[in-house]
Amino acid sequence: MSADAPARPAVLPAVHRPVRRVRPGMLLSPLRRLIGVDEELLERVPQERARYTWYGAIVLNTALLGGASMALAFATVRDELPVPVVVSVGVVWFWVVLALDAWLVSGTHGVLSRGRLKSLLPRLALSLLVGLTIAEPLLLQIFDKEIHQQTAAGNTRDADAYRGMLVSCNPPDGADTTTRAGCGGYQLNVPGSPASVHRQIQDTTARATALQAQLQSLHKTLSAKQDAERRECDDPAKWIYGANGRHDVGDTCLRARADADDYRRTSNISTYESELATLTEQSRTLTAKEASAGATYRPALDRAIAAKTRDHAAHLDDSGLLTRANALGEVAWSDWYAGFVAVVLHLLLLAVDALPVLVKLMSPSTAYDRLLTAQLDATRRLHTADLHLHHASTAVLHEADLHEATRTAAARMSRLDHGLRLEQAERTAEFRAELEMRAARILRGAP
C-alpha cells in the first residue's frame, strides 16, 4: 500500500442486519415510549409488551394524580383563585411530575439484579420526595370534614379566650387596668363608665373646692378694701368744702374707692364666681349621671366586647395550608386509632406516588432488560473498537504525514545546499578572474 493511500476508507461499508419491523397500529405504544422503551428491541420479546404498557400507564396515572392533587390544594387554600388558574397550575404540575417520573423510569431499563438496588435507591428517594408533595393535599382532602370541625373548634376556643381577656381587662365599673399584667392591647375605649364619671366628679369637686378657697381669699381682700372705702367716704368729719360751695369726699376716699374698684376688676371675681356656679351645676349633673352610668355602660361595654370578638374571629385563618396541617395533626393524634388510620393512608398514598420506581424495584430483571444490557454492551464494544480503529488510522496517517514532511524537508535542504555551492563556485570564479586581471595589469606595467 502506498503512503498516499488513506489508512481507512472514508465511509465504512454498511453492515446489513435483519430488520424487525414493528407491528403497525399499536395504539398503546405511546405509553411505552413515555418510559423510554425501544419498540424495535421490544419486538424481539413481545411477551414483555403488556408489562411495559402497564408500566407506562402507572407513570401516567401518577402524573395525573399529582396534577389533581396540586389543583385541589390550590382550590382549597386559595379559594379566591379563578378556575382557569387552578386548572393551569394542575396541568403544569402534571407535566413536571410526568417528566420527572419518565426520567426516573427510563434510566432503570437494562439494570440487572446485581446492580438494581444501588441504582434504584437514589431514584426511590427522589420519587418519595415528590410523593410527599402529592400525598399531602390528597390527605387533607380525605380528612376535610374533620379538619374543618377541628379548625372551627380551635377558632372558637381562640375567640372565647380573646373574649375572656376583653372581659377581664374591661371590668363593668370601668376601672383602669393599664397596669395589669397581660392586659396590654385588650383595653376598650367605651365612654360613660362609672369609674370615668366618678373621676370626673372628683376632678370637678377638687376644682370647685380650690376655686371656692380662692374666691374666699379674694372676697376677704375685697371686703377689707371696701371697709377702708367706707371709713374714708362715709365719715362727714373727713369731707372737705369744695369750690362749688358744697361738701364732698376727699382725695383719700377717692383713692380708696378707686383701689376697691380696680381690685374687683383685676381679680376676676365675677369670672371665678361664674365658673364656680358652672362647676357646681356640672357636679350635680355628673352625680345624677353616676347613678345611671351602671345601667347604660354595661350594655355598651357588652356590645363593644361582642364587636371586638367578632372582628377577631373574622380574621382567624381557617383555610391556610399550615392551619389545615396543624388541624390534621390534632385530629390524627386525638386517639390511637385515628393516628393509625392517618399513618396508613399516608403510607398508602406515598406508596402510590412512588409506584413507578417501586414497581421496578420489586420486579425481577426482564428479558427486555437483558437484551437492552447486551445491546448497550455491544454498542460500547463497537464504540471501543471504532475508537481503536480511529486511533490506529490516525497514527498511520500521522506516520505518513511525518514521513512526507521528512522527505520534503530533506529535498528542500538538498536544494538549498546545491544553490549554496553554486553561489560559492560563482564567487570563486569571479575572484580568480579578478586576480588574473590584476596580474595582467601588473605584468603590462612592468619595464
Predicted confidence (pLDDT) per residue in 15-28, tens digit: 444 444 545 435 67
Task: Answer yes or no: are the C-beta atoms of 145 and 318 closer than 8 Å.
Answer: no
pLDDT confidence of residue 12 = 44
Residue 414 burial by Cβ neighbours in a 10 Å radius (0-12, 13-18, 19+): exposed
Model confidence at 117, pLDDT cuts 50, 70, 90, reads low
Which neighbouring-strand residues pair with 247?
Answer: 241
Q: Is 247 helix (H, G, I), strand (E, B) or coil?
A: strand
Q: Cα–Cα distances in Å, from 108 out to 118, 142, 214?
A: 11, 33, 103
Indicate the helix (H) or strand (E) that contains 421.
helix 367-444
pLDDT confidence of residue 348 = 78
Spatial CA neighbour of 189 closest among 308, 292, 337: 308
Task: Answer yes or no: are the C-beta atoms of 376 and 54 closer than 8 Å.
Answer: no
**pLDDT tens digit string along 46-60?**
888 888 888 888 888
**135 or 434, greater pLDDT:** 434
Backbone angles phi, psi at 247, to 5 degrees: -85, 140
pLDDT confidence of residue 3 = 44
| Cα gap 402→408, rounded to integer Å | 10
Mean pLDDT score across all residues of the chain = 76
DSSP-derived secondary structure letter, 320: -
Spatial CA neighbour of 269 closest among 224, 225, 222, 228: 222
Residue ranges per structural domain of the chain: 29-153+323-379, 174-314
High-pLDDT (> 70) share of the chain, %: 79
Question: Which residue has 367578632 as its cell numbers?
Answer: 310
Indicate the helix (H) or strand (E) that contains 240.
strand 240-241
Task: Answer yes or no: are the C-beta atoms of 24 and 321 closer than 8 Å.
Answer: no
**The C-alpha cell that represents 200 in the structure block:** 370626673
**109 or 239, greater pLDDT:** 109
Model confidence at 344, pLDDT cuts 50, 70, 90, reads confident
Q: Is 98 helix (H, G, I), strand (E, B) or coil?
A: helix
